[in-house]
Structure 1
Amino acid sequence: MKTNILTVALSLFSLMAVAQKSEIKSAEKAVDKGNYTEAKAEIEKAESLLADANDKWTERFYVAKGNTYLGTGENVSIEDMLTASEAFKKAAEMGSNEAQEGLLNVRNSLVQSAVEDQSAENYKSASDKLYTSYELNPQDTLYLYFAAANSLNAQDFDTALEYYEKLRDLGYDGAETEYLATNVETGEQEAMPKEQRDLMIKTDNYTDPEDRELPSKKGEIAKNIALIYINEEKMDEAVEAMEDAKRENPDNVMLLQAEADMYYRMGDKEKYNEIMKEVLEKSPDDPAIYYNLGVTTAELGDTEGAVEYYEKALELDPSLSEARMNIVVAILAKERELIDEMNNLGMSKEDSKRYEELEEERLEVYEEVIPYLEDAIEHDPTNAEIIRTAMNIFNALDEEEKAQVLKEKLEELQ
């Protein structure tokens, strides 16, 4: 009797194994034909019999399941991507090289889909996909960085803060060498791994190899953490986050810049200027720093100091048209105080005399601003706002010929 029972059991085991092999093969064929719905149905049937499969067919099952849920890699849900990755992981642990390639395909599909979401400004979806890609390979922290940035763009501040703090705790730096080459067909530069770039240069498809050094992102990460706290009106946490970052990187110029930006957002422009002067000592040839100092110095009411900063910015970068316009705005700001006082004067002899003095000072402001307006028009001859401002000032100075020339120029532009 026992022999008969054993024989029946062996027969059932054999039938189950045959059925499972058949369903795995059917799933593989369906994948090859692109019929992923059918493949999923066959995988579900085979999975219920998986406990009775040997290692060879178990490995083959997980590869088939991974390929089934990955599909073409396009328009695949995150849930299916995760299912595919878990299947590939199990097959890879059993030694499958195909599964290793499958895992790479899952990650590439997630990233490509995230890029498309980002282009469509669907930042929340892009962040979710990039974070999933990071989870599949936690050594690749670049995807965590991009996930954080997309969460910030989506204004999902809680998630962005979580990701940025994780990057900070991991010591993520982001400084690296980017390897670029120009795609002959599109004419655009593309970044790729060095070995791939060097290989592509040997073909006729890519030219002009270039190595570009990317700066550290620690300052940006610290700034974003602080700005999220500021957005949530948690000022103490913002300052503490920045101080922690500075303790670890006391000479990091990007962090100093980030700290300055933080105080500017908090409305403390004097502290902003103080820190920006430290930044200036470390980067004395950066026109952007002089320009930014000009902006806040003007906001603090120091017109002369603001003009000096703008002029230095233009000395370093003559193309900074905004600096020229801001010089004009800073100088003409003096007129506002004069007009306010003039409007508050009465009709007495003393008031009339004071009015004349103020009017003279007003004309002196116009004389002071003329060279800057002419310089601005020379560098930006189609800027109607600059031309109109200069025309009005020449009219106020009774320089009618110059005003008429500008009027005609303005009419030509219109």
Structure 2
Amino acid sequence: MKSKYVLLASALLISVATFAQKDQIKAAEKAIKAGKSQEAATILMEAESLMSTASETEKAQFFFVKGNALLDLANKKVSADKNLELATAAYQNLIEVEKATGKSKYTSQAQTSLKDIKFNLINSAIADSKVDKHAESAKKLYDAYLLDKKDTINLYYAASTYVNAKEYSKALEMYENLKKLNYSGKGKSYFAINKLTSGEDFFDNVKERDLSVKIGTHEKPRNEDVASKRGEIYKNMALILVENGKTEEAKKAISEARMANPDDNSLVLTEANLYLETKDFETYKKLIGEVLAKNPNDADLTFNLGVISGTAGNMAEAEKYYSRAIEIKPDYINAYINLAALKLDGEKVIIDEMNKLGTSTKDMKRYDELKIKRDNIFKSVIPSLKKAYELDTANVDVAKTLLNVYSALEMTAESKALKAKMQ
């Protein structure tokens, strides 16, 4: 008889606990509706210890309300990073519980909230990058990827941002993941002007963009081709491996990438650049010859060869490639800009020598010789800079460089005319 009372007392305790759980969840919901999310979070924290005896339905409701409270706090900038992380965990726990029970009362709403969290993470990552908090930015981008693994571009951005943070081991780990996924990033980007802000908005897909245009919130839709990012991915992998003394691994990684993607020229350029870095000039020339033989009239490829040669300090080769890119595509603005920059780089050596000269007759004679040499460099870049400015009159850097050249050569009339155009 006594044992019956014990069992009855235990049942009563469980019942009381169940009522307490329900009351606390309801109280938390009420607090959220009243805009008191911090109060709701506190109530739920106190209820957490009772969840072990709760039913699966109550657990799902608890996690849902908890996620809502924490997300609201994050949106109000209250410990935003931490609360976003906790809200994510709560929603994921909810989805797990409902998946196990076969019921999905809150799952759909939780998934919508997880999408909001994803975009919050991305926006917060962008803000962190702007103030050079690259490690924090990279983690948020990776967390955004984990929330939606179909959106692999966030994994790519996370890897690139870890490079900026100089956390190369983490970057390499993510690049390895991108390699396994055979990620290229090649495709299209979709944009349209927001009528309310007059700014251009980016859309994840053409369907979403076209719908916004159709309902009238956006106008002037445009598409933009996105080039393959494989070359950059394998280039960064190679540089990290080389930095770690693993040159052979770097060569193997790029070789494997080329076999998997034989038509991706960016990978050939990356491999060529690696052999250039390791001073294997014969293999470098062989690879460059291979690329040019397949694509003799590819302006972008030829321009990239100019960049590689310039980076390696081979100015004559770089000038040849930039000039060839212009020959193939006469409106190739970046080729004109790089060609001018390449020539202007030669000015520094001259200036350094001029500054070291004294006032002796010999030094003054040498000074005059160097000045003529410097003036000739300035004269040689005028055609490239003029053409670049003609192609893009909004390019302030080109205009300023051209003004400086005119000033150095005392070309007053040309300087005044350019200033008038810039106003």
Aligned amino acid, residue 217 of structure 2:
N
Determine helix, strand or coil for the equivalent of 1:71: helix
Q: Which residue of 2 aligns with 1:396?
A: none
Q: Which residue of 2 aligns with 1:147?
A: 158
Match of 1:178 among 189, 194, 202: 189
Q: Which residue of 2 aligns with 1:343?
A: none
Q: If the length of structure 1 is used for normalisation, what is the TM-score? A: 0.75
- Is residue 88 from structure 1 mapped to residue 101 from structure 2 by the alignment? no
> How far 1:163 sits from its partner (Å)?
0.7
Q: Which residue of 2 aligns with 1:48?
A: 49
Kept after mapping to 1: 8 A contact 2:73/2:83: no
Aligned amino acid, residue 250 of structure 2:
A
How do 1:13-412 residues align onto structure 2 when only pairs under 5 Å count?
A: 13-74=14-75, 75=77, 76=79, 78-92=81-95, 93-94=97-98, 95=104, 96=106, 97-185=108-196, 186-268=198-280, 271-291=283-303, 293=305, 303=316, 308-315=320-327, 316-318=329-331, 319=333, 320-322=335-337, 325=340, 372=380, 375-376=383-384, 379=387, 383=402, 386-387=405-406, 406=411
Counterparts of 1:126 and 1:374, CA distance in 2: 42
Counterparts of 2:315 and 2:12, CA distance in 1: 95
> How far 1:148 sits from its partner (Å)?
0.4
Q: Which residue of 2 aligns with 1:394?
A: none
> How far 1:275 sits from its partner (Å)?
2.6
Counterparts of 1:373 and 1:45, CA distance in 2: 72
Kept after mapping to 1: 8 A contact 2:74/2:83: no
Aligned amino acid, residue 91 of structure 1:
L
> How far 1:154 sits from its partner (Å)?
0.9
> How far 1:98 sits from its partner (Å)?
2.3
> How far 1:204 sits from its partner (Å)?
2.7
Determine helix, strand or coil for the equivalent of 1:98: helix
CA spacing shift, 1:167–1:117, aligned 2, 3 Å: same
Stretches of structure 2 that go unaligned for 5 or more consecutive residues are: 99-103, 351-371, 390-398
> How far 1:145 sits from its partner (Å)?
1.2
Counterparts of 1:184 and 1:206, CA distance in 2: 5
> How far 1:47 sits from its partner (Å)?
1.7
> How far 1:4 sits from its partner (Å)?
3.6
> How far 1:291 sits from its partner (Å)?
4.6
CA spacing shift, 1:38–1:406, aligned 2, 3 Å: closer
> How far 1:371 sits from its partner (Å)?
8.6
> How far 1:411 sits from its partner (Å)?
10
Counterparts of 2:111 and 2:221, CA distance in 1: 30
Aligned amino acid, residue 275 of structure 1:
L
CA spacing shift, 1:282–1:153, aligned 2, 3 Å: farther
Identity %: 29
CA spacing shift, 1:323–1:271, aligned 2, 3 Å: farther
> How far 1:208 sits from its partner (Å)?
1.9
CA spacing shift, 1:385–1:31, aligned 2, 3 Å: same
Q: Which moved more, 1:307-316 or 1:24-33?
A: 307-316
> How far 1:3 sits from its partner (Å)?
4.5
Counterparts of 1:295 and 1:4, CA distance in 2: 86
Q: Which digits, 9 at most, give the CA deviation of each residue in 1:100-136, with x for residues without a partner? A: 2232233222222112212322111011111122223
Please give the root-mean-square deviation of Cα atoms over the aligned residues, in Å: 3.8
Q: Which digits, 9 at most, give the CA deviation of each residue in 1:181-212, with x for residues without a partner? A: 22223232422333321210013321122333
Kept after mapping to 2: 8 A contact 1:114/1:127: yes
| Count of residue pairs the alignment pairs up | 370
CA spacing shift, 1:189–1:140, aligned 2, 3 Å: closer
> How far 1:160 sits from its partner (Å)?
0.5
Q: Which moved more, 1:2-11 or 1:153-162?
A: 2-11
Counterparts of 1:142 and 1:212, CA distance in 2: 16
Q: If the length of structure 2 is used for normalisation, what is the TM-score? A: 0.73
Q: Which moved more, 1:241-250 or 1:98-107?
A: 98-107
Counterparts of 2:117 and 2:413, CA distance in 1: 63
CA spacing shift, 1:11–1:258, aligned 2, 3 Å: same
Q: Which digits, 9 at most, give the CA deviation of each residue in 1:48-79, with x for residues without a partner? A: 22233233322211101112232343444554
Counterparts of 1:302 and 1:151, CA distance in 2: 32
